[in-house]
Amino acid sequence: MEVAVKLARAFLAAGAALALLAGCGGSDDGSGDGPTEVVFSYLWAGAEAQALEQVIADFNASQTKIRVKGVSNPDFQKQLAAMSSGKGSFDISDHFGNGVGAWASKGILAPLDEYIAKDGFDTADFVPSALEQMKYEGKTYSMPIALHTQMLLYNKKLLSEAGIAAPPQTTEEWAQAIAKLTKRDGDKLTQLGYANAEIGTSLTTLGYAFGGEWFDGSGKATPNNPGTVAAAKFYVDNVPGKYGVGAVRTFTSGFGEYASPQNPFYVGKVATVIDGEWQAAFIKKNAPQLEWGVAPIPYPASRPDLEDTTQVTTSTLFIPANAQHKAEAWEFMKYLLGKEAMVKFSHALANLPARTSLLGDPAYADLPQFDAWLQALKSPNAKALASTPWAAQYSTDLNSAFDDIAQMRKTPEQALAAVAEKTGSYE
């Protein structure tokens, strides 16, 4: 009997402790008097989160009706789980532009058009291609807070050593430059004229640069067209095709960490690379002695209309459909999208602002060469991947194809045709 009692007591004590715990957690918003609490759950962490928290603090200090609480949730499984429940545990969050379609089509994003209309919020200042990505079936489901473009970075010293006076403007010049900039020591490569910073982004950008399209006007996937094939061919012909897949792989496998002083571009292992605007801050921090330049991505000589092509990607803000304080969340979103907050935040992250009026803002002056990326946003050839419901699937299949192409397991035509076949079953 005594044992049963002891066991029962143990369980009861544990139960009591747990009951206490239940009270410990789960902060409900006390509605009534006092400011409405809005929960901002964001994917950013570390230094970026700190920059965001500063903006949040500024907002909270600027008015008394709404109090925003920022929570760093670095894994998006948390976002998805929270958005699937009946009562949302957060009111506003961030995501990437080409994921809008997928989430909007499933009804988990709150459309923002009503709020925009009611407040007369002026969307004309926003970069058009970015704004397009925010829409699904004509409705706006997100707003862009930070943008990214891709440019050609080049190592000035290596170029001058190779006798190249100016960065290449056409793809033909670029091909010649790559040849001059690739050095070998016996079988082993010691320097590559070009390497992909991140193959998915680089090859999709190149696809645009060669006049290809990844989507057609009606939002269908079109991976296999002359432009995209030409882009893939350009890479293969000038790098692995010429120097050997094995040699290239041996060389690239020794590359240092991307966000470190050992980044292959910083240490002169790679002479040209296609990369995003955050490099301005990264290089300043990790490789301040590097002599580098930024140039528009080259275009085929026969297609001068493709000059200044770039790919635009976006970081977006959204309000989940199950949010409990949508109106207040919108107030906060307006603040974040306002010029002051946007400059502060994008500058801290070394990302581009989403407003065209900010593209010349002096606040970015301390980021070396940032202006090049800023101006790229104005280009008529600034393209963005469409945000369709199956964008993630398309992206996965494309990356697989790019891997096959770069490792020369398939020719560009074969690989991209294979993706085209798969797109038939996207839904």
Partner 1 sequence: MALDTATMLRRAEEARAAVPRARRRRGNPLRYAALLAICAAFLLPFVVMLTTSFKDPADVFRFPPRLLPDRWSLDNFGAAMDAMPFWRYLGNTVLVSGLAVTGTLLSCPLVGYALAKLRWRGRGTVLVLALGTMMLPPQVTLVPLYLMWDKVGLTGTYLPLVVPSFFGTPFFIFLMRQFLVNMPDDLLEAARLDGASELRIYWRIVLPLARPALATIAVFQFVWAWTDFLNPLIYLDDDSEYTLSIGLYNFFSEHGVEWGPLMAASVLFTLPALVIFLIGQRHFVEGIATKGLK
Partner 2 sequence: MSKVTARRQLQGLAFASPWLIGFTLFIGGPIAASAFYSFTDFNLFQSPDFVGLDNFRAMLDDERFTRSLLNTLYLTVVGVPLGLGLALLVALALNADVRGRALYRAVVYLPTIIPIVVATYLWRWLLNAQYGYVNRIIGVFGVDGPTWLEDPAWTKPAVVLMGLWTVGGTAVIYLAALQDVPAERYEAAALDGAGAWARFRYVTWPALTPVTLFQLVVGVIAGMQIFAQPYLLTQSRLNQAAGGPDDSLLTYGTYVFQNAFVHLKMGYASALGWVLFLVTMAITAVLLLSSRRWVHYGS
Instruction: Report the interface residues with partner 2, using CB under 8 A.
Output: 43, 74-77, 80, 83-84, 102, 106-108, 198, 249-250, 252-254, 256-258, 390, 392-393, 396, 399-400, 403-404, 407, 409
In whole angstroms, how close is the CB of 132 to partner 1 at the nearest point?
23
Measured from the CB atom, is 77 or 218 closer to partner 1? 77
Q: Which of 379, 375, 370 is nearest to 351 (CA)?
A: 370
φ/ψ of 420, rounded to 5, equals -55, -40
HSE-CB for 103 with a 13 A CA cutoff: 31
Residues in 65-94 that interact with partner 1 by CB under 8 A = 71-75, 77-78, 80-82, 84-87, 89-90
Return the closest-CA partner of residue 373 out of 144, 70, 120, 152.
152
Alpha-carbon gap, residue 199 to 150, rounded angstroms: 13
Q: How far is CA 221 from the centre of its chain?
A: 20
- C-alpha separations of 398 from 232, 392, 407, 412 in Å: 12, 10, 14, 11
| From 59, 136, 210, 282, residue interacting with partner 1 (rule: CB under 8 A) | 282
Tokens of 421: 């076949």
Q: Which residues contact 16 (CB under 8 A, 6 or more apart)?
A: none
User: How many C-beta atoms surround the C-beta of residue 200 within 10 A?
Assistant: 14
> Nearest distance from residue 74's CB to partner 2, in Å?
6
Beta carbon of residue 409, minimum distance to partner 1 (angstroms, whole number) = 28
Tokens of 311: 């790919």
Among the listed residues 334, 375, 294, the one whose alpha carbon sits nearest the alpha carbon of residue 66: 334
Q: Tell the smallest beta-carbon distance from residue 146 to partner 2 (Å).
A: 15
Would you say 245 or 348 has its CB closer to partner 2? 245
Question: Counting contacts by CB under 8 A, is residue 250 touching partner 1?
Answer: no
Alpha carbons 242 and 239: distance in angstroms, whole number = 5
Which of partner 2, partner 1, none interacts with 301 (beta carbon under 5 to 8 A by kind)?
none
User: DSSP per residue over 201-234, as a string?
Assistant: HHHHHHHHHTT--SB-TTS-B---SHHHHHHHHH
Residue 63, contacted partner among partner 1, partner 2, none, CB below 5-8 A by kind: none
**Binding marks (x or -) toward partner 1, 46..65, rule CB under 8 A?**
xxxx----------------
Q: How far is the CB of 321 from partner 2 (least distance, A)?
A: 8
Among 169, 183, 200, 258, binds partner 1 (CB under 8 A): 258
Report residue 342 as tokens. Answer: 């946007």
> In whole angstroms, how close is the CB of 198 to partner 2 at the nearest point?
6
Would you count residue 253 as binding partner 1 (CB under 8 A)?
Answer: no
**Is 167 in a helix, a strand, or coil?**
coil
Binding mask 15-34 for partner 1 (x = CB under 8 A): --xx--xx-xxxx-------
> Which of partner 1, partner 2, none is residue 71 near (CB under 5 to 8 Å by kind)?
partner 1
The first and second tokens of residue 53, run together, are 């928290």
Contact between 233 and 175 (Cβ < 8 Å): no
Nearer to partner 1, 74 or 360 (CB): 74
Q: What b-and-e string marks burial along 379-407, b requiring 16 or more CB atoms within 10 Å of the CB?
A: bebbbbbbbbbbbebbbebbbebbebbbe
| Host H or E run for residue 292 | strand 292-295
- Decide whether 10 or 166 has the Cβ nearer to partner 1: 10
- In the complex, what is the shortest distance from the CB of residue 379 to partner 2, in angstroms, rounded to a whole number? 26
Nearer to partner 2, 121 or 426 (CB): 426
Cβ at position 37, least distance to partner 1 in Å = 11
Q: Which does 85 bind (CB under 5 to 8 A by kind): partner 1, partner 2, none?
A: partner 1
Residue ranges in contact with partner 1 by CB under 8 A? 1-4, 6-7, 10-11, 14, 17-18, 21-22, 24-27, 39, 44-49, 71-75, 77-78, 80-82, 84-87, 89-90, 256-262, 267, 278, 282, 349
